[in-house]
Every structure is written in C-alpha cells, then in structure tokens.
C-alpha cells in the first residue's frame, strides 16, 4: 500500500495540467476557456527506486453535470510491480470551476481489491464548509476553508496560478484524512527531452510541513504547463520518478 500511495500521490502531484478550454454554456466552460485550460490524456513511465514500475495514465474530460470536470488516473504496472500495485487501482476527482477558482466536489480512490478497507471517499459541502467520507475504513469529518484541495484538485489550482503568471507559495491539501499545509517554491528552469523534442520547463518543488519527502515537477509552458517529468525525493534520495511518454489533446 505504501508504494501504491506513493505512486498515486506523485501522479496527482504531477499529471495535473488540465481541465477544458472548449467554449460552452456552463459558467465552468466559460471560465476554462478564458483561462486557456485544455483537455488531455497523458501517459507517464514510472520507476520506483530505479526499478521499472510500468505506466500511469491521467485523463481530463467533461463531467456528467454542467460546469463540472472529471480527472481520472489509472495504473498499468509491470508484472513485478503488481505485487504492490493492482492493475485495477484508480483515482477519480470531480471538480467545479468558477470565477472564484477551483473547488473539488468529490474524490475517490479505489485500490483495486475486493475490500474497501484501503479506499478513500470524500464529499465536499461548500455551503457548510465541511468534508465528509472515509479514509481506509475510518470516518472523516473535517472543517475546511475556501481554497482547500485534495491531491487532484490542487493541480488545477497550480496550473491556473502558472497560467496567470503567479508564483504560489502554499496550498492546504487533504491527505490521509487530515488537512495539511504544503509549501511550494520555484527552482528555475531546465531543458527536458520529451517525445515532442526538447522543451524548457519550469521546475517547482513542494513539501508537506514536517515531511522528509520533496516532490519536484517540471511544467512545460510550451505544452500548456503540462508536467513532463516529476521526481519524489525522500531524505534527498530519488524514490519515484515519472517521465512523459505520450500526450494526447482531446
């Protein structure tokens, strides 16, 4: 479970340059179009401590209700990685986009097993400013403030900040059934080789308060700030690494 959690936490901290830029009637459509956000499907090669773990695919598409969008992540582990990661594991977040910004509506993680003991289910009530649900079999009820995110919705917030030319310093994110503070900071730019040639990417690091893990993500402005690479470090040593292998615009 620890490896699977690392995978999913990293992919949602990585593969999040998204939502939609098609004009529409719904307010969320109009906001997305104005922001320049585009739908996409991205696939990343993943390694864990130097071992090939397979691939992860993230897709962003229109939700079932007007003004809502859906972000879903699925894993394609190698035979060896299936010892720790089920090929049926997946994560889905439903998000609302308004002039006030990104608001998550629900978040669901299924570890792919028949049991729900390690699954996550969260529902947001923005009128009451609460989040309720369950995390690994334990009930969750949290008071939240505007700007609270989960590991998926924070990516949309991050991309909106970058598209607007701002430099975010922190986000409040729900992880492990708790509301935690994550610090963000820029580390310059680097050239990264991708399937579409060499691109310049902005390097952004993030770290939860009190954690010994740091995640660095390479956002490519020329690809609409789609992340092209990410590495999660533990005590300064790289553990999980992701590299873009395919990007499809919808």
| Tens digit of each residue's pLDDT (9 = 90 or more) over 219-249 | 999 988 889 999 999 999 999 999 999 998 7
Q: What is the DSSP string of 155-171?
A: HHHHHHHHHTT----EE
> What is residue 59's predicted lDDT score, i.e. its pLDDT?
83
Q: In terms of pTM, does the model score above 0.85?
A: no
Q: Are 153 and 103 in contact (CB under 8 A)?
A: yes
Is the pLDDT at 4 greater than 60? The verdict is no
Mean residue pLDDT of the chain comes to 83
- Looking at the DSSP bridge assignments, the partners of residue 110 are 90
| Tens digit of each residue's pLDDT (9 = 90 or more) over 178-199 | 999 999 999 999 999 999 899 9
d(C-alpha 18, C-alpha 156), whole Å = 6
Residue 116 phi/psi, 5° resolution? -100, 10
Q: Where are the domains of the chain?
A: 2-181+238-249
| Tens digit of each residue's pLDDT (9 = 90 or more) over 25-53 | 344 555 555 555 678 889 999 998 888 98
């Amino acid at each position: 479970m620890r490896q699977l959690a690392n995978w999913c936490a990293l992919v949602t901290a990585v593969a999040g340059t998204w939502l939609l830029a098609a004009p529409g009637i719904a307010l969320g459509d109009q906001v997305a179009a104005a922001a320049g956000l585009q739908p996409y499907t991205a696939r990343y090669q993943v390694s864990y401590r130097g071992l090939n773990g397979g691939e992860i695919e993230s897709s962003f598409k229109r939700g079932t209700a007007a003004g809502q969008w859906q972000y879903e992540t699925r894993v394609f582990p190698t035979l060896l990685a299936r010892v720790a990661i089920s090929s049926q594991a997946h994560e889905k977040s439903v998000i609302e986009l308004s002039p006030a910004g990104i608001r998550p509506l629900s978040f669901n993680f299924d570890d792919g097993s028949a049991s729900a003991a390690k699954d996550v289910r969260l529902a947001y009530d923005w009128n009451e400013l609460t989040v309720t649900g369950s995390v690994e079999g334990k009930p969750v009820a949290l008071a939240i403030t505007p700007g609270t995110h989960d590991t998926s919705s924070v990516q949309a917030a991050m991309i909106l900040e970058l598209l607007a030319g701002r430099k975010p310093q922190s986000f409040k994110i729900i992880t492990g059934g708790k509301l935690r503070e994550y610090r963000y900071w820029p580390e310059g730019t680097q050239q990264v080789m991708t399937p579409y040639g060499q691109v310049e990417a902005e390097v952004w690091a993030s770290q939860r308060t009190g954690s010994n893990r740091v995640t660095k993500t390479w956002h490519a402005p020329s690809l609409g700030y789609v992340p092209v690479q990410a590495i999660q470090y533990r005590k300064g040593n790289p553990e999980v690494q992701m590299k873009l292998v395919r990007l499809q615009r919808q």
